[in-house]
A and B are shown apart, each in its own frame.
Chain A
Amino acid sequence: MSARAAILARLKCPAPIASEAAALLRAPERPAVDVTNLESEFLARLALPSVNASHDVVASLTDLPAAIARYLADQNEPLTLCCPPDPRLDVCDWSAFALHATAAPDETATLAIARTAIAETGSLIFETSPTAPMLPNFLTLHHIVLLPVSAIAAHLEDAPLPGPQPRAHYWITGVSGTTDIEGTYVRGAHGPRFLHVILLRGELPHMAD
């Protein structure tokens, strides 16, 4: 008998009833979020010591390069940016920047676009796709995230996409940290040491299919 058959033989039981599984999700206990004020709720979580992110606001997508330049200047970093191959960013004037698409092992600054964000926790939500690589967001020292204000949602249940799942669906809630030595919190363990969110008031063009 195969291991599979042997294990399943010992786990013979009726198939689960979908309504039973669904009933377990009714009215979940979770932190309260003021849904009329998602932006400030999100920003409050983003500023918590455990999340430790900074933020800026731009009115339109064309203001994005200037906001990034401002941030990098404040951080005494060069205007070099790992930028995802996302056509929505083509409207921006990147002429001040040295842009590249592939992250170096010691990448300084990387831009990513969050699909949504969660006010409950201050999480930024991403998926992988041909226009959204994942690795640069973890290699970089400064992770700069563009987030349309209109995309902020209330609870973690709002994060997943319906239907078939992308290769990776991931939540970033702060900077890379560790408490592995004596329980002392240190930022920038392996991944980003800085997380900077740029809120976009205006619309982000929809992705062409």
Chain B
Amino acid sequence: MSSFTTRADAALADPILKIAVERTAGTAQAKRAIAIDAFPDFEAARTRAAAIKDHVIAHLGPYLEQFEASAIAAGAQVYWAQTADEACRIVIAICKAAGAKTVARSKSMLGEEIGLPHALEEAGIGRVETDLAEHIIQLADERPSHIIWPAMHKTSEQVSALFKAKHRTPHQEETIAAMAQSARRELRGAMLGADVGISGANFLIADSGAVCTVTNEGNAELSLVPPRVHIVTAGIEKIVPSMPHAIHMLRMLARSATGAALTQYTTFYTGPRRPGDRDGPEEMHIVLVDNGRTKMREEGLAEMLRCIRCGACMNHCVVFRQIGGHAYGGTYPGPMGAVLTPTLDGLAATRDLAHACTLNGMCQQVCPVKIPLPTLLRGWREKSWREGLEPTSMRAGLGLWAWVATRPALYRLGTAIAIRAIRLLGRKGWIARLPLAGGWTQYRDLPKPAAQSFMAQYHQEQRK
């Protein structure tokens, strides 16, 4: 697997990616700002949303048991999975028991996290991705680059070429509307013919056993109502106590994600088809997935379990806006991904993510559940340092600097020597190339330091 820096460099060298990311994230940022301005006291609403999630995380075990009992009472079957593999095995077993040849999937980041698309493929089960962006990703055989807009990295020109190559009756007219219609034609039949519909959950309602999904396309409903079997895979942190709690979170989610007051379609599914119902699945299976969440709760990352996957942090992140989602290398990109990915994929392979952040705090400022993302990223940096994963040069350099900096008299001497050395390289106030600081001077000039440090000058003046 390539390194983060290699992927980031490739992303930076791709001018089309930059345009594509800017078009979507820029629009989302602007629309969110308008929605938040129009909302009465969004700050208090964020505090409430964080408190709701913290309450659930503090009582997660009992709430999960309550949800399980309610869902079973409504006729659903509930499963528990500690790992991604276990979750996939459960889903595949349900599909096989149902004799499923094809499944319709409604976009779910948890599904991506546990590698469900790949597991279905390995099991020989056909998969129809019904979210338009996921459909694009499936046709292109790529991975999502954003949690709300998985195909954010693709321009309309690229999507057009893809549809023309893969759709049976592709669009004629070069408009985005015509491309969307081409996908509609292609997917409509596939959705209606699927044996199983698989979704994630935006919320699990503990007191009723309902599973909530939100979409703007209506693809969740079209994927989940016609098939005989509905499978839900959901992270255990998706619980809320009751509908009114979910309603508060829904108000936060849509505004933070797209700037809308609500998604177009918000559906609460409680159990399978009832006697006399004209449609709906005969079986509903809910897989509750841990995959590192209990560990996060135990190891100082409980605040990350507040996350409702709105994507605001990445839309507002200066680093994400430059490199897009794929460079992060995990299921989840951007600031929230940089916190989650080391838990999911191991810190040794992902230590760059916590460092590739300027700690500017914008992500925390826009987070609807007030996750202290910079603090959590700093936590990963500390763990990486403690575990000896940081490069030797960095450890040695910082160690030497700190050794000197904790000896003020020596530090004054050191700065005097350093200033003299650096000044030798300067021309007309600026330094264009500085050894050991090539990362700076490769792209920017460095101002030449003054002849004497502040401390030296100050003491001379004091002695006068």
Contact = CB atoms under 8 A, between A and B. Distances in A.
A196 B273 CA distance: 28
Nearest to A26: B48
Interface string B21-46: 00111111000000000111110110
A192 interface: yes
A85 B274 CA distance: 16
Contact of B279 (A14, A128, A170, A188): A128
Nearest to B136: A180
Interface string A102-125: 100110000000000000110100
Nearest to B288: A7
B272 to A, nearest CB: 7
A190 B268 contact: no
Interface stretch (B92-100, B235-243, B400-408, B445-453): B235-243
A40 interface: no
B94 to A, nearest CB: 15
Interface string A13-48: 111100011001100111110000000000001000
Contacts of A57: none
Contacts of A180: 131-133, 136, 149-151, 217
B279 A29 contact: no
A165 B244 contact: no
Contacts of B219: 189-191
B280 A134 contact: yes
Nearest to A187: B177
Interface in B235-276: 236, 241-245, 247-248, 250-251, 258, 260-276
Contacts of B27: 179, 183
B290 interface: yes
Contacts of A29: 39-42, 44-45, 48, 251
Q: Name the prevailing secondary structure of the A interface residues.
A: loop
Contacts of A178: 132, 180, 216-217
B184 A190 contact: yes
Contacts of B269: 167-168
Contacts of A4: 80
Given A8-B61, A13-B62, A182-B24, A176 B264 contact: yes
Interface residues of A, number: 72
A157 interface: yes
B195 interface: no
Contacts of B20: 182
A188 B59 contact: no
A183 B23 contact: yes
B236 A7 contact: yes
Contact of B155 (A121, A164, A168, A182): A182
B307 interface: no
A189 B218 contact: yes
A16 B65 contact: no
A123 B216 contact: no
A133 B310 CA distance: 31
A166 interface: yes
A166 B274 contact: yes
A31 B132 contact: no
Contacts of B52: 24
Contact of B244 (A25, A31, A135, A188): A25
A176 B82 CA distance: 36
B455 interface: no
B210 A165 contact: yes
Nearest to A118: B262
A188 B184 contact: yes
A98 B386 CA distance: 74
Interface stretch (B221-229, B337-345, B416-424): B221-229
B216 A121 contact: no
B222 A157 contact: no
Contacts of A105: 188-189, 192
B156 A24 contact: no
A173 B263 contact: yes
Contacts of A94: none
Interface string A171-209: 111111111111110101111100000000000000000
A130 B247 CA distance: 27
A165 B221 contact: no
A173 B247 CA distance: 14
Given A16-B241, A85-B278, A182 B80 contact: no
Contacts of B26: 183
B318 interface: no
Nearest to B274: A167
A8 B69 CA distance: 14
Interface string A84-102: 0100000000000000011
Given A29-B45, A182-B23, A183-B149, A173 B64 contact: no
B122 interface: no
A53 to B, nearest CB: 11
Contacts of B247: 28, 156-157, 159
A138 B74 contact: no
B81 interface: yes
A161 B261 CA distance: 22
Contact of B86 (A3, A14, A32, A173): A3
B314 interface: no
Given A50-B261, A170-B265, 12 more contacts: A7-B290, A7-B294, A121-B262, A135-B278, A156-B251, A164-B74, A173-B263, A176-B216, A176-B217, A189-B184, A190-B184, A191-B222
Interface of A: 2-4, 6-8, 10-16, 20-21, 24-25, 28-32, 45, 50, 85, 101-102, 105-106, 120-121, 123, 128-130, 132-135, 138-139, 156-157, 159-160, 164-184, 186, 188-192
Q: Which 9 residue pairs of A and B lie closest in terms of their CB atoms, listed nearest first?
A: A191-B218, A130-B276, A11-B61, A133-B278, A183-B24, A16-B59, A180-B133, A29-B45, A4-B80
26 contacts: A11-B64, A13-B60, A16-B55, A21-B245, A24-B245, A28-B48, A28-B244, A28-B248, A50-B260, A101-B278, A106-B188, A121-B262, A135-B226, A160-B268, A167-B274, A167-B280, A168-B268, A173-B261, A178-B132, A180-B132, A184-B23, A186-B177, A188-B181, A189-B216, A190-B222, A191-B221
